[in-house]
Structure 1
Amino acid sequence: MTAPFLDALIQRTSLPLVDETNVDAFLAPAAGECPNALLFFSGAAAPRPESSDVAAVLPEILRAFSGRLRGAIVAPEAEAKLKGRFQIFVLPSLCVTRATEPVGVLPKILDWSDYVEKIEAALDPQAPVLSAPAKPKTQFTFSQGA
C-alpha cells in the first residue's frame, strides 16, 4: 500500500522500492557504481504532512549529487523493520549510506543549503558510520544485612 504522492514519485523517477528482503542487494554497489545511496523513509503508512514535500525534493537532490548518490524508496510496509538499522527516528527521513551502513540521516523537510551541507558531510569518506545510541546500563548489587 502506498500513498498517491509515493506512487507519483515512483512513476516519475523509476526509483526502486526496497524492503528488508532486497535492501542489501540495492546497497551493495555494482561494478562502477558509487558506494553511496539515499534511502527515502516516507512515513506513507500514516499521513505525515512533510512526506510529500520530501518526495518533491528527492529527485532534485539525486540530480544535484548525480554520480555520487543512488536513490531508493523504502516500501512503507518495510519501514518499521528497517528504521532501527538505519537510525531513523522521525518520518519522513532521508538516510545517506555508504554501502550498507548509515552515515547520515536528514529528518523532515530541510532548506536546500542544509541538504547540500549535510549530504556533502555524509559523502566524505571519513564520515563516521552512525551507531545506535548506547543503552543505559543498569547494575544491581546485593548486600546482605547483618
Structure 2
Amino acid sequence: MTHPLIDRLTTEHGMPHLGDEAALASWLDRPGTHCLFVPGDPGRNLATTDAAVILPELRAAFQRAFDCAVVGDAIEAGLRERAGVLKTPSLIFWRDGRCLGGIPKVRDWSDYLVRIPQIIGPRAGDGEAA
C-alpha cells in the first residue's frame, strides 16, 4: 500500500524507489552517504506519513549531506533485519557499503538534529565553511 505523501518523495523530490535487492545494492554502491527511508505500512502506522514529510526537510537542513531513497515493501523486512533497525518508519544511514545506524519512529526535530550528525559522522560537514 502506498500513500500520496510517500509517492511525493519519488515524484516531487526525485528520491528513487528501491523495489528489489539489485536496485538497493546498486544505490548503496554509489559514493557518498545514503539515507534509506523505510516507511512500513502507512495504513497501520500513521507516523509513516509524518516521516515522509520530515525527510525532505532533513535533507535540506543538512545541506544534502546525504541522498535519500524510499525502500519498497518487498525488501523492507530484510533490510530492517540486516541494519538492526526493526521499527518503522525509520531512516537508516549507509556509507561505503556499511550501515552507519538508524533512527526508528518519528522523533522531535531536535532529536534528528542531534542524532543524524552522530550517525553520519564528520563527513557530513565536508566542504562546509567553519
* TM over 0.5, shorter chain: yes
Residue identity in the other structure for 1:113: S
Larger of the two Rg values belongs to structure: 1
Q: Which moved more, 1:83-92 or 1:44-53?
A: 44-53
Q: Is the 8 A contact 2:42 2:49 kept in 1?
A: no
1:41-94 CA-to-partner distances (Å, cap 9, x unmatched) read 000375211000000000011112234211111012221222111222101110
Q: What whole-Å deviation, never above 9, does each CA across 1:20-53 have from its counterpart, x for those lacking one?
A: 12112111224xxxx2111000003752110000
Alignment length (residue pairs)? 122
Which of 98, 101, 125 is the equivalent residue of 2:98? 101
TM-score scaled to structure 2, two decimals?
0.83
Any gaps of 5 or more consecutive residues in structure 2?
Answer: 124-130
State yes or no: 1:60 paired with 2:57.
yes
Contact in 2 for aligned 1:87/1:102 (Cα 8 Å): no
Distance 2:43 2:102 in 1: 20
Per the alignment, residue 16 of structure 2 pairs with 16
**Percent identity of paired positions between Structure 1 and Structure 2:** 32
Q: Which string of whole-angstrom CA distances, capped at 9 and with x for unpartnered residues, describes residues 6-25 of structure 1?
A: 11232221100113121121
Counterpart CA distance in 1 for 2:71 and 2:35 is 10
Q: Which has the higher contact order (CA 8 A, sep 6+)?
A: 2
State which of 79, 83, 94 in structure 2 corresponds to 1:82.
79
SS at match of 1:88: coil
Alignment-derived partner of residue 3 in structure 2: 3
CA contact (8 A) 2:94 2:100 kept: yes
1:142 corresponds in structure 2 to none
Partner AA of 1:95 in structure 2: I
* Conserved 8 A contact 1:94-1:105: yes
Task: Judging by fraction of residues, say which structure has more helix.
Answer: 2
Contiguous gaps of at least 5 residues in structure 1: 127-146
How many Å separate the matches in 1 of 2:9 and 2:120?
Answer: 24
